[in-house]
């Protein structure tokens, strides 16, 4: 017997891998690099290993505030412009009078395009709001989504106004270079 100051071994603590193998116990691998970490006991569920949870994204207060403000501005613009778009022919007629052109005559085209703009801008705003909320929930930077929605709505408005104006015979007759 050796004179050893260590406490008495429990459960084969001081056994060599060969002694453990002979006893039928678990043999820890000896060729693993020292950087391999064993999972915590807290990750085990019913004897099986649980999938590691992804880190929770940090909440960016400035992004939430900016996204909310941009969506609020978009909602205001959508609601405020709906009245003018529903009466687009009357708005164009008044604009023609102020410039000195003949009265706007293509009322059916202008009112149809105005109704389209109301629906289109509402759909774009709803899509931007839904995408923004989904993006905020997963912790992504989101402010750009309402900006893209606003740009899409603005481009559509410019195109619709151009079609309504260029579709009027009074404008094409009065504008130089278009005839």
Gap between the Cα atoms of 161 and 155, Å rounded: 10
What pLDDT, in 10s, does the model give residues 79-128? 999 999 999 999 999 988 898 888 888 899 999 999 999 999 999 999 99
pLDDT in tens, 127-163: 999 999 999 999 899 999 999 999 999 999 999 999 9
Q: Taking a C-beta distance cutoff of 8 angstroms, is the pair 83, 121 a contact?
A: no
d(Cα 35, Cα 124) in Å, to the nearest integer? 51
Which residue ranges make up each domain of the chain?
61-174
What is the average per-residue pLDDT within 6-31?
Answer: 67
pLDDT at position 16 over 80? no
The pLDDT of residue 10: 67
Residues above pLDDT 70, as percent of the chain: 73
């Amino acid at each position: 017997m050796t004179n050893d100051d260590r406490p008495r071994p429990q459960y084969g603590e001081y056994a060599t891998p060969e002694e453990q193998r002979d006893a039928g116990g678990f043999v820890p691998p000896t060729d693993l690099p020292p950087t391999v970490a064993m999972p915590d006991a807290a990750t085990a569920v019913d004897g099986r290993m649980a999938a590691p949870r992804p880190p929770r994204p940090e909440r960016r207060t400035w992004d939430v505030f900016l996204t909310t403000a941009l969506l609020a501005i978009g909602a205001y613009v959508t609601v405020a412009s709906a009245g003018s778009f529903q009466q687009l022919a009357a708005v164009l007629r008044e604009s023609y009078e102020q410039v000195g052109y003949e009265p706007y005559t293509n009322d059916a085209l202008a009112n149809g395009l105005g109704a389209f703009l109301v629906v289109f801008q509402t759909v774009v705003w709803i899509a931007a709001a839904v995408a923004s909320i989904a993006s905020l929930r997963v912790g992504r930077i989101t402010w750009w989504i309402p900006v893209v929605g606003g740009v899409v709505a603005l481009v559509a408005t410019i195109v619709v106004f151009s079609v309504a104006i260029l579709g009027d015979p009074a404008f094409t007759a009065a504008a130089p270079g278009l005839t």
